[in-house]
Amino acid sequence: MTSTSTATPRVRPRAGSAWVVLSLVCACQFMVILDASIVNVALPSIQRSLGFTPTGLAWVVNGYLLTFAGFMLLGGRAADLFGHRRMLVAGLLLFSASSLVAGLATVAEVLVAARVGQGMGAAMLAPATLAVINTSFTEAHVRARAFGAWSASGGVGGMAGAVAGGALTTGLSWRWVFLLNVPIGAVLIVVAMMALPGTRTERRESFDLAGAVTGTAGLAALIYGVMDSADHGWTSVPVVGPVVAGLLLLVVFAVVQARLAAQPMVPLRLFAIRGVAVGNVMLLLFGGITIAMWYFTSLTLQNALGYDALHAGLAQTPAAVAFVAIARWAAALLPRTGLRPLVLAGCACFVAGFGWLAQTHADSGYVTGVLGPTLLVAVGIGLTFPTLMAAATADVPTGDTGTIGGLANTASQIGGSVGLAVFATAASARAAAEAGGSSSAAALATGYDLVFLMAAGLALAIAVVSLLLPRRRRG
């Protein structure tokens, strides 16, 4: 089948509208990441309201995450073929419509289907926002600051989810966790139509259908199997089957991209760019870092230290504020320092912070057991995340900016999914081994300590890989 070619802007954004464009993409990223976390606090209310089984309830979360990660490569390529503005608006429409359906759902199946729709909308949005940054901000120092703001907005979205979810569920209803997206999405659609340049077609180009099918199905199967490992174990058929099928499909995908596709969905020539190859490897490892920080620190606060969900979210707010401030600062530094120094500094913060968190126990106080180490880790995330995104998307031809945005987001999401499954398995095994001679809280804290030590190991691996980065980030 055929479709329009790589779309190019008719006009570049006016200088006076640059802040509107940046605000738009940051708001989109905030909404996408917020929706991945805001629902967690509302799950008990959703279960009571719609009669979910415990297994079915997990798909309120997994339905979103699976489609979000599985369809991002396709969303990124579609943004290059059909236009960044078109895909961003289409993603907002699908995301907002699915949010409305989710908020009005009266049966469990409808809510899960709506969450799948939200995930697909997010998979269209996320790579389009990166593509807009790459094509709208061409000067190195301006683009670096834009990446800093974009990264910070995603971090704030992840952290705000726990607080906002608790407040909306307690003060109004769980339905407002989803309905809130509808007016926000409507405003963003209007802003996108006004602020972003239109697109035009210069030539016709074949669409890589075989690559789209094998790549999307392979990623979805791999992530599905990894998600099931928490319930069934790594050697069970429900895990091994999808993981093996996913890996085989991804091998076929690679063959299609290298030899068969006239216009591949992910051109392998992009990996000849050092920053793209090294940056995506580091983003894969970095996904585990973020899971260890936000997810397992939240579990430590609730299951080991006795906080409720709302107070656990509030307790992590200082770290979120630190992350935002450092991400903006690091983005300003990036054109002067280059990539490698910021990554190495961030990894040093990870090792120190996670090593400190590993000393937290059931009787630890908040300031010395949580606040201090989480601030260190947040500084590390602020230094590294915008830097890794800048590395993974730099020096890419304009016609591939959506594709590379999808690739970078996919690497981070897969790293997070695999990291969550591996960390959860390790923590459960460690806690079970300790449970015989410890209180439940103490045993859980021991399991989380192991996770934090493993995260410190990931930081060391990122530091080693970063030695392959260019000494200076090229404009």
Range with top average pLDDT, 214-228, 239-253, 259-273: 239-253
Q: What is the pLDDT of residue 454?
A: 93
Task: Report pLDDT for 162.
Answer: 65
Domain residue limits, the chain = 14-198, 208-262, 272-475
Q: What is the rounded CA–CA span in Å between residue 189 and residue 87?
A: 11
* 162 contacts 316 by C-beta, under 8 angstroms: yes
| Closest among 326, 406, 398 to 129, alpha carbons compared | 406
Q: Residue 302's CB: how many other CB atoms inside 10 A? A: 17
272-475: in CATH 1.20.1250.20: yes
Of 162-171, 264-273, 355-364, 411-420, the least confident? 162-171
Is 7's pLDDT higher than 60?
A: no
CB atoms closer than 10 angstroms to residue 343? 26
Q: Averaged over 54-67, what is the pLDDT? A: 74
Q: What are phi and psi of 138, to 5 degrees?
A: -95, -25
Question: Is the predicted pLDDT of residue 400 greater than 80, yes or no?
Answer: no
More confident residue, 287 or 162: 287
pTM of the prediction?
0.74
Compute the half-sphere exposure of residue 207: CA atoms within 13 Å on the CB side of its CA. 16
CATH for 14-198, options being 1.10.1040.10, 1.10.8.50, 1.20.1250.20, 3.40.50.2300? 1.20.1250.20
**In what helix (H) or strand (E) does residue 328 lie, and over which residues does it extend?**
helix 317-337
Whether the pLDDT of residue 96 is over 50: the answer is yes
* Res 99 pLDDT > 90: yes
CA–CA separation, 159 and 317 (whole Å): 7
pLDDT tens column, 67-89 = 887 787 778 778 777 788 888 99
**Which band of pLDDT confidence, cut at 50, 70 and 90, is reported for residue 234?**
confident
- pLDDT over 80 (residue 241): yes
- Of 107 and 134, the one with more pLDDT: 107
Range with top average pLDDT, 56-70, 107-121, 163-177, 394-408: 107-121
Which segment of 154-168, 174-188, 407-421 scores lowest on mean pLDDT? 154-168
Please name the residues in contact with 436: beta carbons below 8 A apart, sequence gap of 6 or more: none
Q: How many CA atoms lie within 13 A of 246 on its CB side?
A: 19
Sorting pLDDT into bands at 50, 70 and 90, what band is 347? very high
**Cα→Cα distances 401→329, 390, 462, 473, Å:** 25, 12, 24, 17
- What percent of the chain lies above the pLDDT cut of 90? 15
pLDDT digits (tens, 9 = 90+) for 200-218: 544 455 666 777 788 778 8
Residue 367: how many other CB atoms lie within 10 Å: 8
- Give the mean pLDDT of the chain: 79
Q: Same CATH topology for 14-198 and 272-475?
A: yes
